[in-house]
Amino acid sequence: MTTSSISIFDPPPGQARRVLCVGAAVMDTLFRVRSLPTGQGKILPYDMLQVAEGMASSAAFAVARLGGNASLWGAVGDDSTGERIIADLSDSGIDTGGMVRVAGARSAVSTILVDDQGERLIVPFYDAGLHETIKPVTKQEISAFDAVLVDVRWPKLALRTLVAARDAAIPAILDGDVAGDGVIEMLAPAASHIVFSQPAAERLAGTAELVKVVGLLKRKFEHAFISVTAGENGCFWFDDRTGEVVHLVAPKVRAVDTLAAGDIFHGAFALAIAEGMPIEEAMRLSSMAAALKCQVFGGRTGAPTRAEVCRVLQNWDPPVAAMRGPNWKRSEGR
């Protein structure tokens, strides 16, 4: 990549683009261990951190770190943990004015073990009453943003937000992670862009062959941009211009902590789309942001700045390869 071409990854002139993230807000306790447990017993960590994150929250932090204006709509309980979650996210540069305090509910918490290979074991807890109340979402309210990104943890609010974004003609992006039965199918029709995690994509498509997976999901949700993130195996997406499934390799890094890497990818992607960045460059930016995060222990706190991402992108220019397969074509007559 030449020095002159790096300008496409710089923020556009004018005010920072506004991205609304909707969904999970969790107080995570991270323990760093040599290896993940395989049975009962006691395991002694050698490092730990408590941080407010979750899919939408971590994505919002990525938006802020990359120079965007990030807002978060999530729910916490009326407890001290909820106060800590909101304070932590606010101190991280996220607008939490749209957060909801739910009387009688407990805030979401999780315990996470991260081993020396960067892999993790997550034990999350979500109070069933945390996401029962759904506030109204209007087209006028959503029109103040340049893009919205929703996760699958608050499906009813996510759906209202996606529909309002569609009506306002702004990008409506779905973080297609593993969810309860029917959640993806409920949200996807209202999304303009869907970036699936590999486990969720394989579960929906019924196969582990990623080229087939992308093609089958594109056939299922023809109206949307379709992508699948596959960790160290890079990312795949359906190129609507060529009608091909394409693949971008992942940057090579030594993974210390993969927690929140997918969320950082989604936040970077949402900001890139809000800025009008072409899809291929948006995927490069997002891939590099996620990869750099993996080099740092601490979940979303490892999200890189825009300057850090752009500096590394100057020396990373792998080709985007077309991946041909029998099941990726659009259905006939569509």
Question: Looking at the predicted structure, is the pLDDT value of residue 7 above 80?
Answer: no
Is the pTM here over 0.95, yes or no?
no
* Residue 244 backbone class (left: φ over 0; alpha: ψ -120 to 50; beta: rest): beta
Q: What is the pLDDT of residue 324?
A: 63
The single-letter DSSP state of residue 178 is S
Number of other residues whose CB lies within 10 A of the CB of residue 319: 9
- Tens of pLDDT along 273-302? 999 999 999 999 999 999 999 999 999 999
Q: Buried (b) or exposed (e) across 272-293, using 16+ Cβ within 10 A?
A: bbbbebebeebbbbbbbbbbbb
Q: Buried (b) or exposed (e) across 172-204, using 16+ Cβ within 10 A?
A: bbbbbbbbeeebbebbbebbbbbbbbbebbbeb
Q: What is the pLDDT of residue 331?
A: 33
Q: Is the distance from CB of 286 to CB of 199 less than 8 angstroms? A: no
Q: Is 328 or 217 the better-scoring residue by pLDDT?
A: 217
323 confidence band (pLDDT: 50, 70, 90): confident
The pLDDT of 223-232, averaged and rounded, is 97
The single-letter DSSP state of residue 95 is B
C-alpha separations of 8 from 129, 240, 277, 311 in Å: 44, 21, 7, 13
- Tens of pLDDT along 74-118? 999 999 999 999 999 999 999 999 999 999 999 999 999 999 998
Question: Looking at the predicted structure, is the pLDDT value of residue 2 above 50?
Answer: no
Q: Is the distance from CB of 131 to CB of 23 less than 8 angstroms? A: no
How far does Cα 228 stand from its chain's mean position? 11
3-state secondary structure of 245: strand
Q: Is 7 or 270 the better-scoring residue by pLDDT?
A: 270
Which token pair is 36?
């993940």
3-state secondary structure of 154: coil
Q: What is the pLDDT of residue 3?
A: 43
Please give the share of the chain, as a percent, with pLDDT higher than 90.
90
Nearest to 135 by CA among 184, 74, 221, 86: 74
Which token pair is 198?
């590999």
The single-letter DSSP state of residue 302 is G
Please provide the average confidence, as pLDDT, over all residues in the chain: 93
d(CA 245, CA 213): 10
Which token pair is 51?
């941080």
Give the DSSP per-residue string, 58-73.
Answer: HHHHHHHHTT-EEEEE
- Tens of pLDDT along 31-45? 999 999 998 999 999
Question: Looking at the predicted structure, is the pLDDT value of residue 199 above 90?
Answer: yes
Nearest to 131 by CA among 106, 161, 94: 106
- Tens of pLDDT along 126-160? 999 999 888 899 999 999 999 999 999 999 999 99
d(CA 260, CA 52): 11
The single-letter DSSP state of residue 298 is S
Question: Looking at the predicted structure, is the pLDDT value of residue 326 above 60?
Answer: no
Question: Looking at the predicted structure, is the pLDDT value of residue 329 above 60?
Answer: no
